[in-house]
Amino acid sequence: MPFTLIKGSFHVVGYAPDGDSIRFGPDDPTLLDDLIGPAAELNSQLHVQLRIEGIDALETHYRPQGGRGNLHQPKAQAIAARTALLEFLGIGGVVWNADETRVVAAQDGVRGCILTRAVEKNRRPVAFAYAGDPAGQDGAAVHLDVPRLKGSWNYHAVARGLAYPTFYTGLFEDLRAAMIEATEQARMGGTGLFAEDTTTEWFLADSIAAITEDAVIMPKLFRRLATHLSRTGGLAGFKAALQASRERLLDLRRSNFTHFDSFVEEHPDGRRIRMTRRPEELVFDEMRQRTGNIF
């Protein structure tokens, strides 16, 4: 199935963009109506939040379920991804509020486009993001091949080690393979966050401080840990909570369907965990029937 080319502009003033999340204002909002899935959620300014396909940048402001306040992952890498996205799109002059949770001024509304074919359960278009005005008619059906993928922020982010690859079942295999190859090259070169990645090593995960200040890990794992630690105050019971959530995925190494908890190990000391698969070896199920993550 082809992707839909949607032209428009990117916006940050009044919002809190990060390395994998930004607002987009389509020139023709009705083009969103024909995408697969629920209706995209446009705000009063006719801007829509994007879910940028295939990547997950370190969190700059995550509010865990049942927790108090926003949490972040190690700031240097999280902010590097956010800064790089704005530079990639051509958004300059960015001024943040005092605690850097919202943009108060910027050279906003820069031209760009997205390629998308679906809206996910949180009503965000799942998109590949591009800077500038492309050739082609707004709303055109486009075949997204690997050469065109390489011009997107999505590919750029993993190739430069600015975000982790995080795949869902809706991503076509050839595009996923290209992003895996870019990830492997970045990992081998120790590029960006891959110089500090501890996802598959034993890392301390028994406190909020350990996961927000020290451990550079897959953001999906961070979010699960942040929620559990906020609720319980410690690591005990984390694996059991993951098992109960039954978060389905495909293990690319073995071509088996299983659950996220299968690849999370707890250390006997009760303070450390690790994953036994790299993020690029997993393809997560969208789990559209769930209104949100239960854990």
- Per the CB < 8 A criterion, the answer to whether 16 and 154 are in contact is no
Q: Residue 295's pLDDT is what?
A: 47
Q: How many Å apart are CA 245 and CA 240, to the nearest integer?
A: 9
pLDDT > 80? residue 58 = yes
Compute the mean pLDDT over every residue in the chain, rounded to the nearest whole number.
Answer: 95
pLDDT tens for 113-152 read 999 999 999 999 999 999 999 989 999 999 999 999 999 9
Instruction: Work out the average pLDDT over 29-51.
Output: 97
The answer to whether residue 291 scores a pLDDT higher than 60 is: no
Determine how many CB atoms are found less than 10 A away from the CB of residue 195.
13
Amino acid at 208: I
Q: State the DSSP code for 210.
A: I
Residue pLDDT, tens place only, 188-206: 999 999 999 999 999 999 9
Instruction: Give Cα 274 distance to the centre of its chain.
Output: 20
Query: Which helix (H) or strand (E) is 237 found in, with range?
Result: none
The phi-psi region of residue 88 (left if phi > 0; otherwise alpha if psi is between -120 and 50; otherwise beta) is: alpha
Enumerate domains of the chain plus CATH numbers: 3-170 (2.40.50.90), 194-284 (no CATH)
Give the DSSP letter of residue 120. -
**What is the mean pLDDT of the segment spanning 95-116?**
95
* CA–CA dist 71, 62 (Å, integer): 5
Question: Encoding tokens for residue 14?
Answer: 């009044």
Beta bridge partners of 110: 10
What is the per-residue pLDDT for 288?
Answer: 60
| 8 A C-beta contact, residue 217 and residue 203 | yes
pLDDT digits (tens, 9 = 90+) for 66-83: 766 889 999 999 999 999
Which pLDDT does position 217 carry in this prediction? 98
Query: How high is the pLDDT of residue 290?
Result: 53
**Can you say whether the dihedral through the CA atoms of 258, 250, 59, 35 is positive or negative?**
negative
Would the pTM count as exceeding 0.85? yes
**Per-position DSSP letters for 55-112, written without gaps between them:** EEPPPSSB--TT--S-B-S-HHHHHHHHHHHHHHHT----EE-TTSSSEEE-S--EEE
| Other CB atoms within 10 A of residue 288 CB | 10
**d(C-alpha 42, C-alpha 191), whole Å:** 36
Each residue's pLDDT tens digit, 232-270 = 999 999 999 999 999 999 999 999 999 999 999 999 999
275 pLDDT above the threshold of 60: yes
Task: Give every CB contact of residue 288 below 8 A, 6+ residues apart in sequence.
Answer: 37, 120, 121
Is residue 225 over pLDDT 60? yes
Length of the chain: 295
Q: How far apart are CA 265 and CA 274, in angstroms?
A: 5
Residue found under tokens 């055109």: 140
The amino acid at residue 91 is I
DSSP string, 39-55: PP-B-TTS-EE-EETTE
**Rg of the chain's alpha carbons, rounded to an integer?**
19
**Angle between the 219-232 and 238-245 helix axes, to the nearest 10 degrees?**
120
**How many helices and strands in the chain, by DSSP H and E?**
7, 18
